[in-house]
Amino acid sequence: METQKSFSFDSVTLKKIWHGILIAIGGACITWLGSNVQLVADLFKEYPTVAIFVTALCSVLVNMGKEWIKGQD
């Protein structure tokens, strides 16, 4: 197994960066889908800063799902 090198954008580091990007995009997509539900859309309009925290929470949930699925038997 390859190890990550300090102060370098090696293949291991780039793979981790791409995983983080995909998690962030997944969280944003879930937030976008949720914002199309009228109750959530009204909440975002009334409290726009809530959307930031909801997006972050959705990203965490995507990461939790990824970690839950990837475990070994």
Instruction: Assess if residue 46 is contained within a domain.
Output: yes
Count of domains for the chain:
1
DSSP annotation string for 2-47:
--PPTT---HHHHHHHHHHHHHHHHHHHHHHHHHTSHHHHHHHHH-
Instruction: Assess if residue 5 is contained within a domain.
Output: no
The pLDDT tens digits of the residues spanning 4-49 come to 888 888 888 888 899 999 999 988 888 888 878 888 788 888 888 8
Whole-structure pTM over 0.75, yes or no? no
Q: Answer yes or no: is pLDDT of 52 > 70.
A: yes
Instruction: Assess if residue 62 is contained within a domain.
Output: yes
Q: Answer yes or no: is pLDDT of 1 > 80.
A: no
Domain range for 56 is 37-68
pLDDT level of residue 71 (50, 70, 90 thresholds): low
Instruction: Assess if residue 51 is contained within a domain.
Output: yes
